[in-house]
Amino acid sequence: MSFVSISHLSSPDIVVLPASKSYSQRALAAALLHRGITHIFGIGQSDDEKVALGIVNTIADEVISYDQFVSINSFHINSEIQEVYFGNSGLSSRMFIPVLATLLPYYKAKLGTQLNTRSFKDFEHILPQLNVQFTHDKLLQCLEVKGILQPYDIHIDKMTSSQYITGLLIAYFFSNINPNAKIIWNKPLSLPYINMTHALLEKFRNQPKEKILEIKIEGDWSNAAYWIISGCLFKKIKLQNLQLDSIQGDKFILDILKKHGADLQLSENEIIICPAKMLPIEADLTDYPDLFPPLVALAAHIEGITRLYGVHRLYDKESNRAKSLQLEFAKLGIKINYTDDCMDIIGGTLTTVVVPLYSHNDHRIAMALAIACMHMTETITLTGAEAVNKSYPSFWSAFSIEIQD
């Protein structure tokens, strides 16, 4: 297992944020169903984006990819394909399951070990209502999907993730069958991510097939959160390639930090964050669960109790993030208590209680620990450092360090 030393680190002066993998994956799925030519600019190199691109490359007529550019010609698709690879991508799997069910009468999706442990329960209930048989074989690490999806009016009383809704919205949007079918849901989770899906689909509405559609992927606010925290705690930092008018949900971190003492300077081209005396935070993260890890890293350095709501959203991620955060920060002398709804972080001074630290194969846990420990004087090792490749492969190189085997 790979490792890095995460103490004695200094954050860079300027960080250019990588592409939003959430937006990239949605753009790739929509381009596959567009039945036209789509040019996508600024796409990232994360593992999740590679999975989504691999799926599209398997099905679409022609895919050209180099550097941060992808051209997808989906006028024709290969409906004979019977196997695809979902790797460990939660979004790509839940999104492409209904998307591919509009194209392929039968397919198996191979799952990575980590993804195989995650739940697909919502589809076990929803897809049979849409003429699709769906099974998850954990022993063989695969999903089996049979039947062409038929959009009908459906009402979803409860869902565990907005990712299911995203996949259904894209499938319904491009389907020629029953075009007026509606999806109605109660108590939507992560509504900003559903809004992102709607905004992307609007780019495809009434798009002439003979005209090339161009999409530019914006920078990732979820990954920006870690650098924003480092700026609040340690050293002035400038962040670039972020849109201030973005509808990405995790831009909400700016609102949270403004209320609790952060020194933020916002302009059209960059964001500047300077160290400041921060107050204990109280925030509801039910719709923004990816902000838990960076805010826990911040809270660990703030005297007093930080209280974050929405903990139930953390259980079915790359790890059980509530437990992972509790275990790893306990090694640093920071106590975290949580229930389904509420997490209390008792902040103060980090001390080395137990080493090494472990990422739990979770990219966001790895980055949170790196930011929390970067100015500690003791030598602290983080194992499972390669987990960041899922969303932010260049994270360690921003510190000018390399992963060790």
Segment 151-206, tens digit of pLDDT: 999 988 777 788 999 999 999 999 988 889 999 887 767 888 999 999 999 999 98
Contact assessment for residue 270 and residue 239, using Cβ atoms and an 8 Å cutoff: yes
Segment 53-94, tens digit of pLDDT: 999 999 998 999 999 999 999 999 999 999 999 999 999 999
Contact assessment for residue 320 and residue 341, using Cβ atoms and an 8 Å cutoff: no
Q: What is the pTM of this model?
A: 0.94
Q: How large is the angle between the packed helices 21-34 and 47-59, nearest 10 degrees?
A: 0
- Residue-range domain boundaries for the chain: 3-18+219-399, 21-216
Residue 174 has what pLDDT? 95
Between CA 111 and CA 85 the distance in angstroms is 7
Q: Which CATH number fits domain 21-216: 3.10.50.40, 1.10.150.170, 3.65.10.10, 3.20.10.10?
A: 3.65.10.10
Q: Which CATH number fits domain 3-18+219-399: 3.40.50.1950, 3.40.5.90, 3.30.70.270, 3.65.10.10?
A: 3.65.10.10
Interval 110-133 mean pLDDT = 93
- pLDDT class for 253, splitting at 50, 70, 90? very high
Q: Would the pLDDT of 288 be above 80? A: yes
Counts for the chain of helices (H) and strands (E), in that order: 12, 21
Phi and psi angles of residue 167, each rounded to the nearest 5 degrees, phi first: -60, -45
Residue 269 has what pLDDT? 81
Between CA 226 and CA 209 the distance in angstroms is 40
Residue 386 has what pLDDT? 95
- Residue 86 has a CB neighbour count (10 Å cut-off) of 25
Same CATH fold assignment for domains 3-18+219-399 and 21-216: yes
Residue 280 has what pLDDT? 97
Can you name the residues that pair with 110 across neighbouring β-strands? 85, 142
Between CA 66 and CA 207 the distance in angstroms is 25
- Residue 171 has a CB neighbour count (10 Å cut-off) of 25
